[in-house]
Amino acid sequence: MKFWKFQRWMILALIFVIIFPVTSRSVQAETSKNNISIYLDDVQLVSDVPPYIMPKINVTMVPLRVISEGLGASVRWTQSTRTVAIDKDGASLTLTNGKTTALVNGTSIKLDASVQIKNGRVMVPLRFVGEQLGLEVIWNQTAKSIHLTSGYYIPNPPSIPGDTGNGGGTNNASQLRGAWISSVFNLDWPSVKSYGKAEQQKQEFVALLDKLQAAGMNAVFVQVRPAGDALYPSSLVPWSKVLTGVQGNDPGYDPLQFMVQEAHQRNMQFHAWFNPFRANTDTVTSKLAPNHVAIQHPDWIVKANNQMIINPGIPEARQHIIDVIMEVVNHYGIDGVHLDDYFYPSGGTFSDDATFAAYNTKGLSKANWRRDNINQFVQQLGQSIHSSKPSVQFGISPFGVWRNKSTDSTGSDTKAGVTAYDSMYADVRTWIQQRWIDYVAPQIYWSMSFKVAQYDKLVDWWSSEVRGTGVGLYIGHAPYKLGTSEAGWQSAQEIIDQLNYNATSAEVKGSIFFSAKDLLKNPLGLLPMLSAYYQNK
Going from the first residue of the chain to its last (537 residues), give the mean pLDDT of each consecutive group of 10, the final group possibly shorter: 49 45 35 68 80 85 85 88 86 88 77 85 88 73 74 34 31 79 97 96 97 96 97 98 97 98 97 97 96 98 96 98 98 97 93 98 98 98 97 97 98 97 98 98 98 98 98 98 96 98 97 97 95 88
Task: Give, in order, the Cα–Cα distances in Å from 62 to each of 45, 449, 498.
Answer: 11, 58, 48
Instruction: Kindly give the residue spans of alpha helices, DSSP state H, lying in 215-301.
Output: 241-244, 255-265, 293-296
Check if the beta carbon of residue 310 is closer than 8 Å to that of residue 321.
Answer: yes
C-alpha torsion sign, points 226, 400, 165, 211: positive
The phi, psi pair for 232, rounded to 5°, reads: -165, 155
- pLDDT recorded at residue 9: 52
At residue 249, the 3 state secondary structure works out as: coil
- pLDDT recorded at residue 142: 66
**All domains of the chain in start order, with CATH:** 37-150 (3.30.457.10), 176-536 (3.20.20.80)
Report the distance separating Cα 221 and Cα 208, nearest Å: 13
pTM of the model: 0.70
At residue 444, the 3 state secondary structure works out as: coil
DSSP-assigned letter for residue 503: T
Q: CA-based diameter of the chain, in Å?
A: 114
- pLDDT recorded at residue 155: 32
Q: What is the number of other CB atoms lying within 10 angstroms of the CB of residue 427?
A: 22
- pLDDT recorded at residue 161: 34
Check if the beta carbon of residue 234 is closer than 8 Å to that of residue 327.
Answer: yes
Report the distance separating Cα 77 and Cα 511, nearest Å: 48
Check if the beta carbon of residue 466 is closer than 8 Å to that of residue 505.
Answer: no
Cβ neighbors of 32 (< 8 A, separation 6 or more) are: none
DSSP-assigned letter for residue 239: B
DSSP-assigned letter for residue 157: T
Report the distance separating Cα 438 and Cα 332, nearest Å: 19
- pLDDT recorded at residue 277: 97
Burial class (CB in 10 A: 0-12, 13-18, 19+), 387: exposed
- pLDDT recorded at residue 34: 57
- pLDDT recorded at residue 26: 35
